[in-house]
Amino acid sequence: MLKFRVWNTKEKQMQERIGKKLNDLIRQNGQYHTDINNFIFMQSTETYDKNKKEIFDGDIVLIKTWLNLFKHKGLVEFDRAAFRVLNEPINNWADIEIVGNKFENLDLYKEVNPNESEKND
């Protein structure tokens, strides 16, 4: 089953409600939002980090590699038919932890995506 969360661009907040129907995601206080363009949908990777927190497209993760000697931050993105971090499928990483997301943690986003930082400066 596909799961989503939603970034509300108008209210600048994440709506974590994950429903079985897409309509559940854009309903607030029993009312449906009329402008769907205010929402950015992020799909679940159906993978969990080491703290058992569900990982979504757009999350920023900390990955420990090679006997925990090296740590890297990366952005979770859907590319080449798979969710990837640092060009590797997300399930290739054994030790992964969510440290933020690209909407609520712009400093981390600029760190893992320096090209985006240049566009916004």
Reported as a single tens digit per residue, the pLDDT across 23-48 is 655 566 666 656 678 888 899 999 99
Q: Give yes or no for a contact between 5 and 14, defined as CB atoms under 8 angstroms apart.
A: yes
Take residue 15 and report the two structure tokens written for it.
């709506």
Q: In this model, does residue 2 exceed pLDDT 70?
A: yes
Q: Where along the chain do its domains lie?
A: 4-120
Most confident of the ranges 34-48, 73-87, 106-120: 73-87
Average of pLDDT values for 44-73?
90
